[in-house]
Chain A
Amino acid sequence: AQSVTQLDSHVSVSEGTPVLLRCNYSSSYSPSLFWYVQHPNKGLQLLLKYTSAATLVKGINGFEAEFKKSETSFHLTKPSAHMSDAAEYFCVVSGSGGGADGLTFGKGTHLIIQP
Chain B
Amino acid sequence: GAVVSQHPSRVICKSGTSVKIECRSLDFQATTMFWYRQFPKQSLMLMATSNEGSKATYEQGVEKDKFLINHASLTLSTLTVTSAHPEDSSFYICSAETGRVGYNEQFFGPGTRLTVL
Residues of A within 8 A of B106 (CB): 103
Which single residue of chain B is at the shortest CB-CB distance from A102?
Answer: B46
CB distance from A25 to the nearest CB of B (A): 14
Residues of B within 8 A of A32 (CB): 104
Of A11-19, A38-46, A69-77, A78-86, which binds chain B?
A38-46
CB distance from B79 to the nearest CB of A (A): 14
Chain B interface size range: 20 to 34
**Bound state CA distance, A80 and B108, in angstroms?**
27
CB distance from B112 to the nearest CB of A (A): 11
Give the secondary structure class of B's interface: strand
Q: Number of A interface residues at 8 Å Cβ cutoff, please give it.
A: 22
Of residues 40 through 64 on chain B, the ones whose CB sits less than 8 Å from some CB of chain A are 42-46, 49, 51, 59
Report A's interface with B, CB cutoff 8 A: 32, 36, 42-46, 49, 51, 90, 94, 97-100, 102-108
Report B's interface with A, CB cutoff 8 A: 4, 31-32, 34, 36, 42-46, 49, 51, 59, 93, 95, 97, 99, 104-106, 108-111
